[in-house]
Structure 1
Amino acid sequence: MSDNPISTALAKVEREPGVRKPDPLLVVDGVTRTFGGLTAVHVDTLEVQRGTITALIGPNGAGKTTLFNVISGFDRADTGHWTFDGQELTGRAAHRVARRGLVRTFQLTKTLSKLTVLENMKLAARHQRGERMGLSMLWPVWRGQERGIVRRADELLERFRLSHMRDEYAGTLSGGQRKLLEMARALMVEPTMIMLDEPMAGVNPALTQSLLEHITALRDEGMTVCFVEHDMDVVMGISDWVVCMAEGSIVAEGPPQSVAKNPAVIDAYLGRQHDEPENEG
Structure 2
Amino acid sequence: MAADSAPAGGTTGPASATAAGRLAGTPPEPGVRKPDPLLVMDRVTRAFGGLVAVHVEHLEVQRGAITALIGPNGAGKTTLFNVVSGFDRADDGRWSFDGKPLTGRPAHRVARSGLVRTFQLTRTLPRLTVLENMLLAVPGQRGERLLPALLRPLWGGQERDARDRAEELLDRFRLTRVRDDYAGTLSGGQRKLLELARALMSRPAMLLLDEPMAGVNPALVQSLLGHITRLRDEGLTVCFVEHDMDVVMGISDWVAVMADGRLVAEGPPHTIGRNPAVVDAYLGRRHDEPEVTGEEE
Same fold (TM over 0.5): yes
Q: Which residue of 2 aligns with 1:71?
A: 84
Following the alignment from structure 1 to structure 2, what is the Cα–Cα distance between the partners of residues 20 and 13?
Answer: 8
Which residue number corresponds to residue 142 of structure 1?
155
| 3-state DSSP of counterpart to 1:202 | coil
Decide whether the 8 Å contact of 1:122 with 1:150 is kept in 2: yes
2:246 is paired with a residue whose SS is: helix
Equivalent position of 2:226 in the other structure: 213
Q: Is the 8 A contact 1:7 1:51 kept in 2?
A: no
Q: Is 1:165 the equivalent of 2:165? A: no
- How many residues end up aligned between the 2 structures? 274
Please say if 1:125 is aligned against 2:125. no
TM-superposed CA distance for 1:5, in Å, is 0.9
Question: Secondary structure of the equivalent of 2:57?
Answer: strand
Query: Match of 2:185, as an amino acid?
Result: T
2:44–2:57 CA contact under 8 A, matched in 1: yes
Aligned residues of 2:72 and 2:282 also touching (Cα < 8 A): yes
1:4, distance to aligned residue in structure 2 (A): 2.4
Q: Secondary structure at the match of 1:69?
A: helix
RMSD: 1.3
Query: What's the counterpart of residue 279 of structure 1?
Result: none
| 1:220-275, Cα deviation, whole Å (9 max, x unpaired) | 0000000000000000000000000000000000000111111110111112998x
Which entry has the higher C-alpha Rg, 1 or 2?
A: 2
Find the counterpart in structure 2 of residue 43 from structure 1: 56
The residue type paired with residue 8 of structure 1 is G
Question: Structure 1 residue 6: deviation in Å?
Answer: 2.9
What TM-score does the superposition give when structure 2 sets the normalisation length? 0.90
Percent identity over paired residues = 73
8 Å CA contact 1:57, 1:242 repeated in 2: yes
Gaps of 5+ in 2: 1-6, 288-297
Of 137-146 and 217-226, more deviation after overlay is shown by: 137-146
| 1:4/1:220 contact within 8 Å kept | no
Match 1:99 to one of 112, 130, 145: 112
The TM-score with structure 1 as length reference comes to 0.95
Take 2:262 and 2:19, find their aligned partners in 1: how far apart are those partners?
27
- For 1:269, what is the secondary structure of its paired residue? helix
Aligned residue among 96, 112, 130 for 2:125:
112
Change (3 A) 1:266 1:147: same
The residue type equivalent to 1:168 in the other structure is D
| One of 22, 25, 36 as aligned partner of 1:12 | 25
Aligned twin of 1:277? none
Partner of 1:256: 269
- Kindly provide the CA deviation profile for residues 13-32 of structure 1, in whole angstroms up to 9, marking residues without a partner as x: 01110000000000000000
